Structure 1
Amino acid sequence: MCLAVFGLDCHPRYRLIMAANRDEYHDRPTLPATFWGDCPHVLAGRDLLCGGTWLGITASGRLAAVTNFRNPALAMDMPRFSRGTLPAGYLTDAVPPQAYLEALHEKRDDYDGFNLIVADAEQLWYYSNRESTGPVRVTPGVHGLSNHLLDTPWPKVTTSKDYLEGLLRDDRVSPEALLELLSDPAPFPDHLLPDTGVGIERERMLSPRFISSDSYGTRCSTVILMEREGDICFIERSYARNRRVIQTVEITMPRAK
């Protein structure tokens, strides 16, 4: 997953609103979101190469999402574990968010650069192994995450946050509005782009909210609406190389007590 924007405790109906795009190589084998056969309470897509996931939830309100931290100079030749195991490990466990991230902090060098969000029905926490501080509890409001630290003002992050704030302000939060937020393929001007060490042509290709190229791009968009006292709505829309929708998964489940 390479873009996530979310509103935490800033809507009268929804405790959490999240819209996220997973960007990945098109030839990486993947299963769309479903309840896992080996862990039936987990609803998530699955990476068939390493067995993990990029984003998932449970009926009890546990949520986890991971993005890569883009900096080729810091990339590991042979990381010990796949970053997709990080959200999978949280979703299949019952440990509280803070405790999970504190334990992970001790093993941070086993992974290539990552950002990880974990939540339960009460709180949401963030941690990156590319930041010197440990886990932090995320404050209420609108936040954004791409391939740098939480709320780093990359254009796709700031415009996504502005878009979500507009939906909240105008009381227009809906699954389709959030999917529209994620669908913009327009690149940003060169002078606004970060320099992450991949060269300007690749920075341009990676700059839109919705990425489209022959080998790499947005594989799916996910919307999660978690009501304060009620259902959890989960929608995942998958795409082919040409931005054609190939599958939509829509699941609404009552919050488990």
Structure 2
Amino acid sequence: MCTFTLAWQVFEDAPVVVAANRDEQLGRESEPPARRDWERPVVAPQDAEAGGTWLGYNDAGVLVSVTNRWADTDLAAERSRGLLVRDALRQDTAEDAVRYVERDLDGREYDGFNLVAVDADAALLVEWDGNRRVHQFDPGVHVVVNVGADGRYTIPSRREEIAERQAANADRLREHLRPEPGEHSREWLDRAAAAISDHEFGVCIHGDGFGTRSSSLVRLGADGDSYEYADGPPCETPFEPVDA
């Protein structure tokens, strides 16, 4: 499970604002966010096992992130999904990133995923569960989880109970994060950070060998970019600024 929340073209001072939790096997090693040279400058954490990432942004202001996607179809998983994110971050725009992903899916099969590519001008979601679908987000607040986004959910029969619960949690989280009158991007991001740390919303999880491993707060604004990172469950790990 992973949770990705996005406020896109909501705030004049920052068109892209993100709060996201990464859920993963507790024993899988990763490196914290840093400036990386992946054929162009990128700020991202890195999966130490496969070398990819689950969230990052580049010097063109393109942010790309991926979550798992639950499905009833067994997929070949020929390649790590984090490497697809890393490849997409080489692109100049969010639209270019999605076109790259579409071309890659023509020749390779991955495990199920939801991939978001966003910049100041476009915000797109690629859903892959053996079939490929691309959605364009409208300006507003969006929540992406393993079963889909913004009320468009696919409930797999093999995980029906937990998938239904996740969809309900996502709906409650999105409603909670509707912008308040006069709210600025920093205020919204603080609220989002609190919400994805609050077990009441069910998106900070603790399980047997699996759980929320880290949390990211990213703001791409006219006055500069910022990244704060909790290298552990955000309910018990403070967010620290990333020197990028």
Same-fold call, TM cutoff 0.5: yes
Distance 1:244 1:139 in 2: 33
Alpha-carbon distance in 2 for matches of 1:218, 1:39: 30
Q: Which amino acid in 1 is paired with 2:241?
A: E
Partner SS for 1:106: helix
Question: What SS does the aligned partner of 2:191 have?
Answer: helix
Q: Does 1:163 align with 2:156?
A: no
SS in 2 for 1:178: helix
Written as runs of structure 1 = structure 2, the 5 A alignment for 1:87-106 is 87-94=85-92, 96-106=96-106
2:17 touches 2:218 (CA, 8 Å); kept in 1?
yes
2:123 equivalent in structure 1: 124
Q: Deviations over 1:71-130 (max 9, x none)?
A: 3x3233x421111112111113446234223313423x5101111111233211111122
Equivalent residue, structure 1, for 2:195: 181
- Within the candidate set 213, 226, 235, 1:233 is matched to 226
Matching residue's letter, 2:236: R
Report if aligned partners of 2:91, 2:97 keep a CA contact under 8 Å in 1.
Answer: no
Structure 2-normalised TM-score? 0.82
Q: CA deviation at 1:185?
A: 1.7
What is the Cα deviation at residue 174 of structure 1?
Answer: 4.7
Which residue of 1 is the match for residue 114 of structure 2? 115
Pair 1:175–1:26, CA change in 2 (3 A): same
Match of 2:236 in 1: 244
Letter in 1 for 2:193: L
**Structural RMSD (CA):** 2.5
| TM-score, normalization by structure 1 | 0.78
2:58 is equivalent to residue 45 of structure 1 = no
**Amino acid across the alignment from 1:237:** A
Q: Does 1:215 align with 2:209?
A: yes
Contact 2:19 2:192 in 1 (8 A): yes
CA distance in 1, matches of 2:32, 2:128: 28
- Residue deviations 1:124-147 (CA, integer Å, cap 9, x gap): 111112285642322111111100
**Does the CA-based 8 Å contact 2:47-2:82 persist in structure 1?**
yes
1:236 Cα deviation after fit: 1.2
Alpha-carbon distance in 2 for matches of 1:233, 1:222? 10
Q: Which amino acid letter does the alignment assign opposite residue 90 of structure 2?
A: T
d(CA) in 2 for partners of 1:9, 1:121: 7
Equivalent position amino acid for 2:227 in 1 = F
Q: 1:84 is matched by which residue type in structure 2? A: G
1:143 maps to: 142
Q: Structure 2 vs 1, CA of residues 87 and 98 (structure 1 numbering), >3 Å: closer, same or farther?
A: closer
Q: Moved runs in structure 1, 4+ residues, more than 3 A?
A: 37-40, 131-134, 167-170
**Equivalents in 1 of 2:229, 2:236: separation in Å?**
14
Aligned residues: 226
8 A Cα contact 2:35 2:41, kept in partner: yes
CA distance in 2, matches of 1:59, 1:93: 10
Gaps of at least 5 residues in structure 2 are: 154-166
Name the CA distance, whole Å, in 2 between partners of 1:14 and 1:48. Answer: 31
Cα gap change, 1:139/1:133 in structure 2, threshold over 3 Å: closer, same or farther?
Answer: farther
1:213 & 1:30 partners in 2: Cα distance? 19
Amino acid aligned to 1:125: L
Compared with structure 1, are the counterparts of its residues 36 and 225 closer, same or farther at alpha carbon in structure 2 (3 Å cutoff)?
same
Query: SS state of the match for residue 193, structure 2?
Result: helix
Which secondary structure state, in structure 2, belongs to the residue aligned with residue 81 of structure 1? Answer: coil
Kept in 2, the 8 Å contact 1:5–1:18? The answer is yes
